Amino acid sequence: MDKQIKEQPMRLFIAIKLSEELKSKLEGWREQYQTEFAFKKWTHREDYHITIQFLGDVEPVRLPAISKKLQTIAHQFHPFKLKFGKAGIFGVETSPKVLWAGVIDYNHMLNQLQEAVTNGMEEFGFVKESRPYHPHITIAQKYTGNEPFQMDSVPSLLPQTAPKGQEEGEAFWTINEFVLFSTHLHDRPMYEILESFRMED
Tens-place pLDDT, residues 62-92: 999 999 999 999 999 999 999 988 899 999 9
> Which pLDDT band, with edges at 50, 70 and 90, does 168 fall under?
very low
Is the separation of the CB atoms in 141 and 97 below 8 Å?
A: yes
Q: Give the pLDDT confidence score for residue 84 in this predicted structure.
A: 86
Q: Detail the DSSP E strand segments found in 35-148.
A: 39-42, 49-58, 80-92, 95-104, 136-143
Is the separation of the CB atoms in 157 and 86 below 8 Å?
A: yes
Least confident of 31-40, 144-153, 161-170: 161-170
Instruction: Average the pLDDT over 161-188 and give the result.
Output: 72
Q: Which residues are annotated as catalytic?
A: 49, 136
> Which pLDDT band, with edges at 50, 70 and 90, does 160 fall under?
very low
Grouping H, G, I as helix, E, B as strand and the rest as coil, residue 45 is helix
Q: Give the pLDDT confidence score for residue 6 in this predicted structure.
A: 54
φ/ψ of residue 162, rounded to 5: -80, 150
